[in-house]
């Protein structure tokens, strides 16, 4: 399955060449961080690396300490920055449950690196210069809108920068300008489809959907592709790695998410011990950036769960390693009646039921210290609660309560959907 590439030489490097490149860039990055940042220097010294010149590269990577969102929060706003403030050109941030934001600053070179990674993703999906691309993530502190924008300019696409919200206008603009590429969160694509039907509008020119910021099941992917008539892609990246698309995306071969190994080293580690796990074993992804200057992360614990599926050349021709789609997060596993599961598993099971629609709620109830779960779904006529409960019992190992609503019966969000709710 040959596929166009934005940077053919870089995207087809042999594994030996990639390792040599990674080794050189890792040494440069670790020494740069130790030289330029007091906080990181202390972290490395506590781990036993007292002299930057002693670091030898990939063989010592697993000996370095991991980092996490807590490091960003402790050093807010720019305590982990490695360059003078006057060289910064942009910043984005995300906030977590503590309310303390995670800030990522960018130099001009970092923005160029981001654009390069995003452009690779667009071209990998099949975009061509001049293609109309509709960017629905917001243009603000969150990195989604700007990341899609920087990459689209690099790939020479025709940008329709709608931002978030006002779904009827989104649909009208997509029709008026012949949107070929739609970007956003996958749950918003579901909302777009719903409004298209309400407005009796079809979008035959829309061919590609690039979705990030929330994981989605294979069942949801198939449902969206079938009903929107598009080919969808799972793009990967986060604030701490430099934004959407920085880590990679899946290709038309559907053989895993390609990781841009010339820019990042990815490890799969045990969440408890931080030990590196062998290929094929699921664990937490840890990321080391190799080409960023303002704030390079070293062994950043993403919280995302996945595994390495292959280091062999893909059918698309790319040679960088591939990981499985994100199966969940270390902090979103639910335990109900002794059964462990992730929200994504519920979604996948629901999408297997004919007539069940892509709108659902997982409601965690706690009564007198005992947890139970309700799964509310929207469905077409004929789908019963018994049918839903029976199928979830077969897939998850327990029988959740829940209600079946008519289409449109559950609340809607304009952007990223909330799937899990807690009720006491």
The tens digit of pLDDT for each residue in 251-279 reads 999 999 999 999 999 999 999 999 999 99
Query: Which CATH number is associated with domain 1-330?
Result: 3.40.50.12780
Looking at per-residue confidence, does 343 or 24 come out higher?
A: 24
Q: Which tens digit of pLDDT belongs to each residue from 116-136?
A: 999 999 999 999 999 999 999
Query: Is residue 339 over pLDDT 80?
Result: no
Contact present, 345 and 351 (Cβ < 8 Å): no
Q: Give domain limits for the chain.
A: 1-330, 334-423
The mean pLDDT of 276-293, rounded to a whole number, is 98
| Model confidence band, residue 98 (pLDDT cutoffs 50, 70, 90) | low
Looking at per-residue confidence, does 172 or 363 come out higher?
A: 172
Specify the pLDDT at position 288: 98
Q: How far apart are CA 398 and CA 108, in angstroms?
A: 52
Specify the pLDDT at position 363: 87
Specify the pLDDT at position 1: 42
Specify the pLDDT at position 417: 72
Q: How far apart are CA 411 and CA 416, in angstroms?
A: 13
Task: Locate 81 and state its tokens.
Answer: 């920055």
Specify the pLDDT at position 3: 58
> Poorest-confidence range of 117-131, 308-322, 404-418?
404-418
Specify the pLDDT at position 153: 98
Looking at per-residue confidence, does 193 or 88 come out higher?
A: 88
Query: Is residue 240 over pLDDT 60?
Result: yes
> Poorest-confidence range of 21-35, 124-138, 217-231, 232-246?
217-231
The number of helices, as runs of H, and strands, as runs of E, in the chain is 12, 21
Specify the pLDDT at position 2: 45
∠ at Cα 273 (268, 277), nearest 5°? 30
Mean pLDDT of the chain: 91
| Model confidence band, residue 342 (pLDDT cutoffs 50, 70, 90) | confident
Distances (CA, A) of 193 to 126, 188, 248, 301, 338: 22, 9, 26, 35, 37
Q: Quick one: how far is CA 66 from the chain centroid?
A: 20
- Give every CB contact of residue 54 below 8 A, 6+ residues apart in sequence: none
DSSP track, 31-73: HHHHHH-HHHHHHHHHTT---GGG--SHHHHTTSPPB-HHHHH
Highest mean pLDDT among 40-54, 123-137, 190-204, 348-362: 123-137
Q: Classify 334-423 by CATH class.
A: alpha beta
Contact present, 322 and 258 (Cβ < 8 Å): yes
Contact present, 308 and 280 (Cβ < 8 Å): yes
């Amino acid at each position: 399955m040959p596929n166009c590439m934005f940077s053919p030489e870089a995207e087809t490097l042999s594994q030996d060449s990639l390792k040599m490149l990674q080794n050189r860039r890792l040494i440069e990055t670790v020494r740069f961080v130790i030289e330029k940042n007091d906080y990181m220097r202390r972290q490395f010294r506590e781990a036993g690396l007292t002299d930057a010149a002693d670091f030898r590269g990939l063989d010592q990577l697993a000996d370095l300490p991991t980092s996490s969102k807590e490091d960003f929060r402790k050093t807010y706003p720019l305590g982990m920055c490695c360059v003078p403030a006057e060289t910064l050109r942009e910043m984005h941030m995300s906030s977590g449950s503590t309310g303390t934001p995670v800030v990522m600053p960018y130099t001009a070179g970092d923005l160029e690196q981001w654009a390069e990674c995003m452009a690779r993703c667009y071209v990998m999906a099949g975009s061509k210069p001049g293609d109309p691309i509709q960017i629905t993530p917001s243009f603000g502190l969150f990195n989604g809108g700007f990341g899609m924008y920087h990459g689209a300019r690099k790939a020479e696409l025709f940008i329709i920068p709608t931002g978030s919200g006002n779904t009827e206008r989104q649909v009208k603009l997509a029709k008026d300008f012949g949107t070929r590429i739609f970007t956003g969160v996958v749950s918003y694509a579901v909302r777009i489809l719903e409004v298209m039907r309400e407005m009796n509008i079809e979008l035959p020119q829309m061919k590609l959907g690039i979705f990030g910021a929330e994981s989605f099941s294979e069942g949801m992917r198939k449902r969206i592709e079938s009903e929107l008539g598009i080919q969808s892609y799972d793009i990967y990246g986060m604030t701490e790695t430099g934004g959407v698309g920085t880590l990679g995306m899946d290709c038309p071969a559907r053989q895993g998410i390609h990781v841009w190994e010339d820019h990042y080293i990815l490890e799969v580690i045990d969440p408890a011990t931080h030990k590196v796990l062998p290929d094929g074993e699921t664990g937490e992804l840890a990321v080391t950036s190799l080409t960023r200057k303002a704030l390079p992360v070293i062994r950043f614990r993403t919280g995302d769960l996945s595994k390495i599926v292959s280091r062999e050349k893909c059918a698309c021709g790319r040679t960088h390693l591939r990981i499985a789609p994100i199966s969940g997060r270390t902090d979103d596993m639910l335990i109900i009646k002794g059964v462990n599961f992730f929200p994504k598993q519920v979604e996948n099971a629901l999408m297997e039921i004919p007539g069940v629609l892509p709108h659902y709620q997982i409601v965690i109830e706690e009564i007198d210290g005992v947890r139970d779960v309700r799964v509310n779904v929207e469905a077409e006529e004929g789908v019963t609660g018994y049918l839903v409960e029976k199928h979830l019992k077969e897939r998850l190992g327990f029988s959740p309560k829940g209600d079946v609503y008519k289409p449109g019966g559950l609340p809607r969000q304009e952007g990223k959907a909330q799937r899990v709710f807690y009720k006491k």
